[in-house]
Structure 1
């Protein structure tokens, strides 16, 4: 039976196992948060050689988004930066991970027809990996090495994760319906 309670005193086994899980979640959160945050900075400000809002809006147009591409660029960039930062430090982790999952789900959907592997920007394997990492953090929670350590969503990650999953799915559908 799947348990949704992540009590600090109980876990899947010995303290080393629980510590390994917490350390693994920390590594996953740091890599995911930094990667998505950096993409957001590229999209918003042109950092790290990125396109900035205007260039990202044009790229969204090339991917088939037909309306509100500038607004969508801002929403996407802010979701990546804020969601990445929240996941990175483990604060309001379900919200941050849901935001990242929503962004990744949209791009996987848009790039799906181009095949799995990256060829001239058409593949979706990188975004699928980021979506899987976001979903993992969303459903597993932040772990004990996080600012969320004493919150209800850290103690019941599956329940809050499923709510976040529904929110991410709803946001993705709304974006696809309104902007494509």
Structure 2
């Protein structure tokens, strides 16, 4: 005579065990590659913008021209300083994302820049018809936000760091830093 508990064990779930860490690694093998693609893609795009803003590369405006662009978007105080800070955050954050080091902080810097651009362009409408739309910057911000909480992944220099094993605390701190930096820039430069 079998008990009800024995019937449960021989039912549909018999032979099903909790997955081991090896099985998780096999199932999530594409996760590291996916995060690498996301990081590198964001780094290349934002890094190119940083090179445009700092050095005028790829037909960009350079520092002086970028300061004038910022003025057209409502930033009227310390635009040259803001141009330098923006370009350095874009280029430095991209370099860190590229190698996968301090990913939550690098992504927070990029999120802060993207949030300021969305704020500045918000009245221009969602779609980028005349350069005033903000859908591209929103996408950059969403990707950066995702990387704040996922970290760099297994294919990175931060593979053995404490924040990779527990990404949520540094992710929350990074998100708060991005929000604070965005508010400070809006308050002080507009």
Aligned mate of 1:50, from 49, 60, 70: 60
Q: Displacement, 1:17?
A: 2.8
State the partner residue of 1:121. Answer: 131
State the partner residue of 1:104. Answer: 114
CA distance in 2, matches of 1:72, 1:176: 11
| DSSP-derived class of the 1:38 partner | helix
Larger radius of gyration: 2
| DSSP-derived class of the 1:35 partner | helix
| DSSP-derived class of the 2:133 partner | coil
Give the alignment's Cα RMSD to 1 decimal: 1.3
Structure 1 length-normalised TM: 0.92
* 1:148 partnered with 2:172: no
CA distance in 2, matches of 1:134, 1:10: 28
CA distance in 1, matches of 2:119, 2:27: 36
Q: Displacement, 1:10?
A: 4.0
CA distance in 2, matches of 1:172, 1:10: 40
| DSSP-derived class of the 1:73 partner | helix
State the partner residue of 2:40. Answer: 30
Kept after mapping to 2: 8 A contact 1:141/1:158 = no
Structure 2 length-normalised TM: 0.87
- 4+ runs deviating over 4 angstroms: none
5+ long unaligned stretches in structure 1: 1-8
Kept after mapping to 2: 8 A contact 1:44/1:78 = yes
Q: Number of residue pairs matched?
A: 171
Aligned mate of 2:79, from 52, 57, 69: 69
